[in-house]
Amino acid sequence: MSDADGAASVGGEAARRRTFAVISHPDAGKSTLTEALALHARAITQAGAVHGKAGRSGVTSDWMEMEQSRGISITSAALRIDYGGCVLNLLDTPGHADFSEDTYRVLAAVDCAIMLLDSAKGLEAQTLKLFDVCRSRRTPVITFVNKWDRPGREPLELLDEIEQRIGLRPTPLNWPVGIAGDFRGLIDRREGGYVKQRRTPGGAHRAVETPLTPEEALEADGPAWVQANEELDLLTAIGADLDLKSFLEGESTPVLFGAALPNFGVAQLLRTLVELAPPPSAPHDAAGRERAVDAPFSGLVFKVQANMDRAHRDRVAFVRVCSGRFERGMVLTHAATGRPFATKYAQAVFGRERETIDTAYPGDVIALVNATALRVGDTLFDGPKVEFPPIPSFAPEHFAVARAVDSGRYKQFQRGIEQLDTEGVVQVLTSDVRGEQAPVLAAVGPLQFDVVKHRMEHEFRSPIELNTLGYSLARRTDADSAPKLAVLPGAEVLRRRLDGELLALFSDRWRLRVVRRENPGLTLEPLLAAGDDTE
């Protein structure tokens, strides 16, 4: 194949890719929607549930034992789905606020996001934070209003909240007939069709759809049909129609209504992703230069996960293909070290299930097995050197000293703490004063500590005890400021093990303000905040 033919092939394959994440507040139904999308794309034959009911399987994307027992997503997962002539790379994200940092890393690897709203609650705190990340990255957002089969708010009220609180102009693509909790069906605004939907037992299979003519709809749904059409007239009058340009620029959001658990409206969401979500475009490297999608291979490591296969205790690096064609077995260059990196063990991932992948294109996610040298934010490339901007770490707000319960298992303790640090489960901080036997774990939320304790005991066979420290925020400092900060009350300086960066920890914002005021020459820079980082 000539270089021109190869570039054309890469460009054509990239155009078929849709790489997206689902973001939401906890309990909005994110993992349920993930299952419903896979079900409608015929990637699975029966949906699981996240409610922990007897006899129901766990969701495909929630593969960790702790996720299945608690019914929450605590780590991101990748699912590759073929649908409508496209390859959909769905990156499921943790919904709980304590795992915001994992979600942020995933958002660095997608081209579009589905913002999932609970019909009764609308925009919630965690959704707002994640949307701010999308805004900062100029990631287009499609909104799916979920749980319309349960009591909730008026649809026009929800649209107004989207526009007023986050500044996105909502452009509904479908419209519900019947108020929330009395879901009759959906009107397609662009094509004008009306579809009644009937759930299957338990919502385990695709909903049964029955198209009706306007006359049949009026006879079947009477006042609800009339009211829905009056609301549609209002939307048309105010110009709430799809504008592809403003959507791609992050100024408007297509809105769809539905209910993920009984699989209502999910098919139209899939079609919308294929039609509207952008394919991969040229990313910018660390120097601000564009890397064309048909340039030689390059990829960004956005996640590292250990022990997905308990039988082999493996370590997997998830890599978003940014440019070029990936071929299994090719020898790439690790940008951070300049060393060669072999790709013999490359796989496509569907939740916990994996299969060998021979080729991949921009937008695809490849899992490199036993990638012990790779860390989150690393770049791999072929040909001329390229390096993408690092993925920033969040500012931790919770701190605890970790110690091995059994001193005889200290090697397992060291190995486990190092692995969890590399994965980004927590940040590990050390100092000469505390020593390596008592590292400080830094987390965005306390639930991360529960994950650490569970995994240290069950995966690394080294139970730990955690002693909470009285700090609540961290600031980046330098070698000149560190000795002065170390002797101040209510402060401590530690070194981040992963990158050697110095962090100053403070008991509270008041203490930080006092230190700033009394020591104006000290270096105290904010890290990326999980929420409001004002002082």
DSSP 122: B
- Tell me how far CA of residue 335 lies from CA of 135, 284, 286, 377, 414, in angstroms: 28, 15, 12, 10, 27
Q: Are 467 and 416 in contact (CB under 8 A)?
A: no
**C-alpha separations of 3 from 8, 239, 439 in Å:** 9, 46, 51
Largest Cα–Cα distance in the chain? 80
Cα-Cα-Cα-Cα dihedral sign, residues 65, 71, 76, 78: positive
Is 205 assigned to a binding site? Answer: no
Q: Which helix (H) or strand (E) holds 428?
A: strand 427-430
Alpha carbon 516 to chain centroid distance?
35
The reply to whether 398 sits in an annotated binding site is no
**Which parts of 278-330 are beta strand (E)?**
298-306, 315-323, 326-327
CA dihedral 97, 102, 105, 109 (to 10 degrees): -100
List 256's β-bridge partners, or say none: 144
List of residues 6+ apart from 451 with CB closer than 8 A? 66, 74, 425
3-class SS at 432?
Answer: coil
Residue length of the chain: 535
Cβ–Cβ under 8 Å, residues 148 and 176: yes
Burial class of residue 239, CB neighbours in 10 A (0-12, 13-18, 19+): exposed
Please state, in angstroms and rounded to a whole number, the distance separating the CA atoms of residues 530 and 253: 24
Of 453, 455, 448, the residue nearest 99 (C-alpha): 448
The verdict on whether residue 92 carries a ligand-binding annotation is yes
Q: In sequence order, what are the residues at sequence separation of 6 or more whose Cβ sits closer than 8 angstroms to the Cβ of residue 325?
A: 6, 9, 10, 13, 297, 359, 360, 361
Query: Is position 94 annotated in a ligand binding site?
Result: yes
How far apart CA 43 and CA 279 sit, in angstroms, is: 21
What DSSP element (H or E) covers 399? strand 398-404
The reply, when asked if residue 171 is annotated as ligand binding, is no
Give the residue from 426, 328, 313 showing the smallest Cα distance to 372: 313
**Amino acid type, 427:** Q
Vertex 83: Cα angle to 80 and 88 (nearest 5) = 35
Q: Which residues are annotated as a binding site?
A: 92-96
Q: Which residues are annotated as a binding site for GTP?
A: 92-96
